[in-house]
Amino acid sequence: MIPAIAIDRLSKTFGTSAPALDKVCLSIQPGEMVALIGASGSGKSTLLRHIAGLIPGDSESGSITVCGMHVQSAGRIERQIRKVRRNIGFVFQQFNLVGRLSVMTNVLAGKLSEIPLWRSLPRVFTRNERSEALKALARVGMAERAHQRASTLSGGQQQRAAIARALVQGAKVICADEPIASLDPESARRVMEALSLINREDGTTVVVSLHQVGFALRYCGRVVALHLGRVVYDGPAEDLTTERLRGIYGSDSDLDFGDAEPNVAAPAIKRPMAGFQPAMAGAMG
Amino acid sequence: MRPANAISLADLEQPPRDTKKTLFYVLIYGIAFAILAWSWQGAEIRPLALIKDAGNMAEFGADFFPPNFHEWRYYLDEIIVTIHIAIWGTILAVIAAVPLGLLAAANIAPWWVHQPVRRLLDSFRAINEMVFAMLFVVSVGLGPFAGVMALFIHTTGTLAKLFSEAVEAIDPQPVEGIRATGANQLEEIAYGVIPQVMPLWISYTLYRFEANVRSASVVGMVGAGGIGVVLWEVIRGFQFSKTCAVLLMLIVTVSVVDLISARIRKLFI
């Protein structure tokens, strides 16, 4: 099977500082839901932005492919990157919606790579495209907000609209970069539910970087932990022991389990979460 | 009452006087005064003339009153032509300023595009609309069209610069959001950039339209149509009561245009 995401020896150095990513190799199978954890500055965001081809790696890096298509190799972003990006939905920490456009138009922007310029520039969308956008909004529980300006939404609502944009895009892979870091616990839960729903129902591969370990353990079958730009753990969520987490975040740090499921998250560390997401078990290597 | 832990000004230790700094300030003020004195001479400023020739001025002023509104229909027609000139001068400038403003923005175009475009816009701005009007009177003939062209070129220079500054101040994150969907660069601009700058662009355009109504009344003086032509005729003919009437009508027009555009601007912000 062609992996959804294949990363070969990706390195990235900003300026003269220590590498942000250091020979990262990662293979993610279609349909997986993977959490990317690690302390601030461990390279989570940088890694996700490389996968979408938003920044190029160092020249000695290997290649990154998404659904078998090259995103970049040896530090050069593919010429046909726009076609590749069509398969990659990106969900940003700051939502990155256009505040002055309606929620509907923001979601329809997911169609931009498919429609001709003469229709996209004057914002002419077909009835089908509009109903598809509405359906996507309905799936994330936002249908009634479709005609509001995006700037009038709360953070959690904006993030769900951003997920609807990725849905309309028909993305096979969704990269979510700290999607819940600026949200309150309830909004965060709803955003994670939306991502998890797409993963289960559509088989969309989801890679989500999270600051709160609790959410990672609750929603993702597989966890990849980064420390100083290196993969230090890659395996099932249930094998992540408190010891290992201390190693990832540093021994003196307070682990942030968030409010995902306070009554479950804490004990989950000691007791393996067997059978939590059985569908994922086969995909994990 | 003073709280116990408050610090009075006297308690704070004064920093030692910095002689270097003081000398520097003296030098700066010296240069500033020297420039003022020099330009006083160059501009031949003679405040005494205002007092000495006060009688002259009073006599001159008296000639303006009462204003002669006898030909007000003619003036009104010409004022309307003036507004027509301002409208078209502004509209053409907006159409040109949108692409030029985007090309002059450092966050949209590479340096080898935005630098030449900026220099071109500088040259549009450096030359006053009066000068452009004279040149266009020669090339396209006397009349309002020369005025339209003059305003068009000059306003393109200012609007495109203002537009590009608005574009450079946008939040890049929504643009990245659009880029991540696989959109091309034109779509990134149409969806990510334009919606963000739209309120500012409209505001700038309305300001320029107001300014252009004023400018259009002046370009007429060199024969480029509108009320300026009339103004020039009555001033040259020493018909000061008519001049007064024209000026009063101009003041009313400009105020009305300002009021209307202020209303429109509020709608968009």
What is the domain partition of chain B in residue ranges? 12-64, 72-268
Distance CA B214, CA B82 (A): 9
> Do B181 and A110 count as a contact with CB atoms less than 8 A apart?
yes
Going by their DSSP bridges, the two strands A230-236 and A222-227 should be labelled as antiparallel
Say if strands A21-28 and A69-73 run parallel, antiparallel, or are unpaired.
unpaired
Q: Report the residue from A99, A113, A121 with minimal CB separation from B186.
A: A121
Q: Is 50 exceeded by the pLDDT of residue B140?
A: yes
Give B98→chain A minimum CA distance, Å: 14
Q: Does B192 touch chain A (CB under 8 A)?
A: yes
CB contact under 8 A, A88 and B180: yes
- Mean pLDDT confidence for B62-81: 85
Does the model's ipTM exceed the 0.85 cut?
no
Q: For B252-265, what is the mean pLDDT? A: 88
Q: Which residue of A has its CA nearest to B197?
A: A100
What is the per-residue pLDDT for B233?
87
For the cut 70, the answer to whether the pLDDT of residue B6 exceeds it is: no
A11 closest CA partner among A52, A62, A55: A62
Instruction: Test A92 with B177 for CB contact under 8 angstroms.
Output: yes
Domains and CATH numbers, chain A: 5-87+172-274 (3.40.50.300), 99-170 (no CATH)
Q: Do A101 and B184 touch (CB under 8 A)?
A: no
Query: What pLDDT was estimated at residue A273?
Result: 40
From B177, which residue of chain A is nearest by alpha-carbon distance? Answer: A96
**Cross-chain Cβ contact A94/B195 below 8 Å:** no
Residue A82 to residue B178, Cβ atoms within 8 A: no
pLDDT of residue A73: 84
Q: Which fold has domain B72-268?
A: MetI-like fold (1.10.3720)
Q: Specify the pLDDT at position A282.
A: 36
Confidence tier at B95 by pLDDT (50, 70, 90) = very high
Q: Say yes or no to pLDDT of B40 above 50.
A: yes
- Tell me the three state secondary structure of residue A62: coil
pLDDT of residue B9: 62
Burial profile A101-130: b = 16 or more Cβ within 10 angstroms, e = fewer: bbbbbbbbbbbbbeeeeeebeeeebeeebe
Rounded to an integer, what distance in angstroms lies between the CA atom of residue A193 and that of residue A12? 32
d(CA A24, nearest CA chain B) in Å: 22
| Strand ranges (E), A96-251 | 173-177, 205-209, 222-227, 230-236
Amino acid at B45: I
Backbone angles phi, psi at A208, to 5 degrees: -125, 125
Only one residue has tokens 């077909």, namely A126
Residues of chain A with pLDDT under 70: 250-285
The β-bridge partners of A226 are A231
- Chain B positions in Cβ-Cβ contact with residue A110 (cut-off 8 Å): 181
pLDDT at B55 exceeding the cut of 90: no
- B83 has a pLDDT exceeding 50: yes
Which two structure tokens, joined as six digits, stand for A134? 């509405």
Query: Does A109 contact B184 at a Cβ distance shorter than 8 Å?
Result: no
Closest approach of B151 to chain A, Cα-based (Å): 29
The pair of three-digit structure tokens given for residue A154, joined into one six-digit string: 């709360």
- Interface contacts (A, B; CB < 8 Å): 83
Helix (H) or strand (E) holding B41: helix B19-42
Nearest Cβ partner of A112 from B182, B195, B196?
Answer: B182
* Rounded Cα–Cα distance for residues A169 and B112 (Å): 34
Q: In whole numbers, what is the pLDDT of chain B averaged over residues? A: 87
The per-residue pLDDT for A271 is: 36
